Structure 1
Amino acid sequence: MVQGWERGTRDAGPGGDEGPARRPAGRLRRGLLALLVAAAVAVPLAGAAVREFRPYFDVAPVYGHGPSLEEFTAQTPLTVGSPQQVVAGLDATYAAHRANAAEAARTAADHGHRDRAAAERALSTRQLLHFDGRGAGLVTEVLGDLAHAGRVAVLVPGSDTGIDTYGRFRATAVALHQRLTREAPTGVRTAVVAWLGYETPGTLSPSVATTGRAEDAAPELRSFVRDVRSVAAPRARISLLCHSYGSVVCARAAAGLDVDDLVFLGSPGTGADTAAALHTRARVWAARGAGDWVEHVPHLDAGLFGITVGFGTDPVSRAYGAQVFAAGDGGHSDYFAPGSPSLANLTRIVLGRLQEVTR
């Protein structure tokens, strides 16, 4: 069944049914539209090309030198523990995953992968809540003081984001954190979390036009947000900022997710017909830059070979029901560009200055 973009365009035979002579053309048209969706959604956050990884990356161990954030929150009564306990636990987690990244960098260097080794060495100096160097890699990094943050933004990237392209994703987190730091009220601390916590779909792969990867990632994102809620300042405001295919991930995780704002940026669709269908208590926002090619993505969902292809209603459309804010003239990778209207509005949303958001 085709919904959204192509609704009402089927070739009808007598009585409104599709005539047999028209069915092959209808299937072909839907197939072509599905390919368009796949091509459009696949472009990564910063336009990085796909890279193949050597087999050793798929068998490299995940080195355990301390607790993960999930293990820490499970073992520590954070709701009654002292702030010092929380800080100590986070420091132990950061140290563990810095060691993981350093070990992965040595392994990459030993196998002649200089670029990968350099990326992992850089990660080994940062506040990592998680690191896994296998395959394309998974990274979760904190910018700021999470244990005392009253305003927290969690960024979820789109397709083709991995360790090799992580620097570009991180740049978006840095730009937001810098602006939050400048504009936060006196006494309010902020943190930005770059959550590359799922295996993003590859460019032009079949998975990029379906919700499969998002469905796999959703439980991980829900669990992670619970952990962030438990270690951040009491009653912290948490905003989830989701770019491109990342908006599909966030939509799949939305029901019951304990966040204050759910923001879709350059979204090809979320898999939900309306914001209300997300079943979230969060305020739902959406934005698209005037130069973003996602505007031309067909907003459909079509059943092909037992798989639903495409993501349905345009999140910036009136029919979807999100609160749409101005993003300026930027393209698909420009939502966090310094000085941009979109970054200004994202900062206002994260800080809770909602009346200042330009529509």
Structure 2
Amino acid sequence: MPRFPRLAAVAPAAVAVGLLAAAPAASDEPVVSNPRVIAHFDLARGQTPENIVAERGGSVDVSFAFAAQVARVTRERRVRVLANLPVEDHPRTPLMNSAVAQGLARAHDGTLYVNYATGTGKTGVWRIPAGGGTPEQIAQLPSDGLPNGLALDERHGVLYAADSALGTVWRIPVSGGTPTAWAKGTALSGLPAPASGFGANGIKVHQDAVWVTNTDRATLLRIPVRKDGSAGAVGTRATGLTGVDDFVFPGHSDVVLAALGTSNEIVLVGTDGTHSRVLGVQDGLSNPTSLAVSGRDVHVADAAYLTQRDPNLLKARLRAHFARS
């Protein structure tokens, strides 16, 4: 959730041509089509959707950053609060100064995990029962950090949290316990002022690796997971993603859909690192933060951090050959 410092440039036509060459061949159908806003949120109530996960049956769950809530948006477009994180009267959150609900992850049984950043002992990973209920803190993270994106690897029973302030990826047992600084270094760190200070941001587990965006450095990174669970060398898979926040793998390949908040764009990032816009402000975007894919449905959360206008949930249709089976 960065305070974006500048607008991204529009990718030139040559980049789009290169991206199509890097993606699987398909029909003339656009990568993403039929975008429409399906829910509007209340900025005055802190309903700024920071992260999003898909539920079964077409619903989605979102973390409302400044409301410190996790809510469900049903197929009927009703918004139901699943959990309220505990109030922090004196937040000292780095880069933010407010208590904020951040990254969200969902287990197969419906259990939700959310990052909460307060600058106090409440900073860490919180677990929410399937269907909603009282959240429980399962891991405490450093109070001088800003745990942002969150990813779940159920196969190995661990969570990964991207810390934007400390430039660190934390590894946490899904059962709870002491976090490990799994990966850190320059590639994951933010830049000094006048940059935003936001380093590691969005995070996903994909193909035996942890993928991370770095907002200040405008990069998409890949960190292999070694057989012993330790982190391999950080590799850069894409650059020039100005204002990048969260991202998603729409299929089984390494092609990515990424949210560029400053320029109000969703871009498709090919396996060769080139990218092109697939959604823009004309489609209803208002500082997009994150995406979720379920079948051929693409949901985009718009937090309106900069526009201060119309935080919303957008839904679009994904080209068939990208969709997961």
How high is the TM-score relative to the length of structure 1?
A: 0.26
How high is the TM-score relative to the length of structure 2?
A: 0.28
Q: Which is strand-richer, 1 or 2?
A: 2
* Greater Cα radius of gyration, structure 1 or 2: 1
Q: Which is helix-richer, 1 or 2?
A: 1
